[in-house]
Structure 1
């Protein structure tokens, strides 16, 4: 399986602002400036309402009504594109399709032969550790397995950017921990650009090269933190815990 990082998969946001319900409404996002390098893993953290998921939707091209510019690979984002995949908290699998068919849905409009599509689907099912489950339906899968299918579907088009919106937020702690390890492995294998939205600061420390801390009302970037810890990282590692505690104490501790 070849990677795509030879192509420019950098992401640049310049003065991005977003309002809902017209110009008179207070901004959800205000003057976001951010540059992400090709192959970098960046997490967005912040309290509820700071605009993390809204920002991810703008990057995905699901909402083009904003101020400022968003460029991917040097080109302005105006709509959705196969070069940008997205995985949501809700796996959104089709219950009447099996694992193989759910992954293959993402290739419906791809310029590949039937054999090439089948090979790509098989490779990505194996990549997320679900070989042998191709004929299982969503109701036969655990929540963690269903999210693996969603990740495979997000990757099967070989996107240069994968956007992840709280993909493990609905899972139990043990399954979440296992999938964090899996996502680290997948990123190291694929080396595509990844942007993760999460409320879990420790998850951000485990996975990221940099962490973007956002503040709310309006949503702004409070700081960008270089993680700088060797990989692989594990929950409970002293340096992981220390950085998590430092971030929480600095940005998320309410003063009385």
Structure 2
């Protein structure tokens, strides 16, 4: 049985390597070492092909074929688990289910009574600002509303770790900005560990305690940047822009 002390250990990756198509293939991820504390918000950024999403899939347990150690709450990650939720760029809602039913899907295997499940769904629909929309179907929702449903579904099991794989990448700038604020509000309310993969460096600066900057071919950690800026952070703030520019400049330096 996992103890509370072990749960509070957070997430640890030690010498993680990943190859596709056998040992002869070049590594997609090379010697990844990273520790994320319980309750921390960490973003992973980097150029396309650096292995960001592959790394997130390993942490989620969607792919257990890797070398090294991924430890969460005192246990090696080899498959999916209710303690780790995930939200993708594509909301992946079932079109024949309404908002309430789409969120409830995540509770199918939960050891809760029918009343407890209904209460959990209602609480999380309200948490993401969709109270009153419970009976709406996906085709009746905007892209931003659909992503709110996906976030509610990722949280309804009360995971200790929420993984987000470019969840706002397909949204327009205004909707993206609103959901960034919403995600920060949810994180501050829930205080669970969050790991965000994003290609938007400014988004990472706005939301994160730390930013993991990945390098490509093979995918590896170039640096880890502490974001020592007070919250809430705003787009256009000079300190936000300066840190964003410093990180982006590092991408160009690496490419040169």
Matches within 5 A, 1:55-66: 55-66=55-66
Distance 1:184 1:43 in 2: 13
SS at match of 2:28: strand
Distance 2:5 2:234 in 1: 26
Give how far 1:7 is off: 4.2
Which residue in the other structure is 1:144 paired with? 144
1:202 aligns to 2:195 (yes or no): no
Which residue in the other structure is 1:242 paired with? 242
Q: TM-score scaled by structure 1?
A: 0.96
Which residue in the other structure is 1:229 paired with? 229
Which residue in the other structure is 1:115 paired with? 115
For the 8 Å contact 2:19–2:26, the answer to whether it is kept is yes
* Aligned residues: CA RMSD: 1.5
Give how far 1:74 is off: 1.5
Which residue in the other structure is 1:177 paired with? 177
Unaligned runs of 5+ in 1: none
Unaligned runs of 5+ in 2: none
Distance 1:35 1:245 in 2: 25
Distance 1:5 1:178 in 2: 36
Give how far 1:251 is off: 2.5
For the 8 Å contact 1:96–1:137, the answer to whether it is kept is yes
Which residue in the other structure is 1:26 paired with? 26
Give how far 1:6 is off: 10
Matches within 5 A, 1:1-256: 7-8=7-8, 10-252=10-252
For the 8 Å contact 2:6–2:73, the answer to whether it is kept is no
Give how far 1:119 is off: 0.4
Q: Give CA-to-partner distance per residue, 1:14-37, whole Å, 9 cap, x none.
A: 000000000000000000000000
Distance 2:177 2:107 in 1: 29
Give how far 1:78 is off: 1.4
Give how far 1:134 is off: 0.1
Say if 1:237 and 1:164 are closer, same or farther in 2 by CA, change over 3 A.
same
Q: 221-230 or 245-254, which moves further after superposition?
A: 245-254
For the 8 Å contact 2:205–2:244, the answer to whether it is kept is yes
Say if 1:121 and 1:24 are closer, same or farther in 2 by CA, change over 3 A.
same
Q: TM-score scaled by structure 2?
A: 0.96
Superposed structure 1 runs of 4+ greater than 4 Å apart: 4-7, 253-256
Distance 1:171 1:34 in 2: 30
Q: Give CA-to-partner distance per residue, 1:103-154, whole Å, 9 cap, x none.
A: 0000000000000000000000000000000000000000000000000000
For the 8 Å contact 2:7–2:74, the answer to whether it is kept is no
Q: Give CA-to-partner distance per residue, 1:77-103, whole Å, 9 cap, x none.
A: 111000000000000000000000000
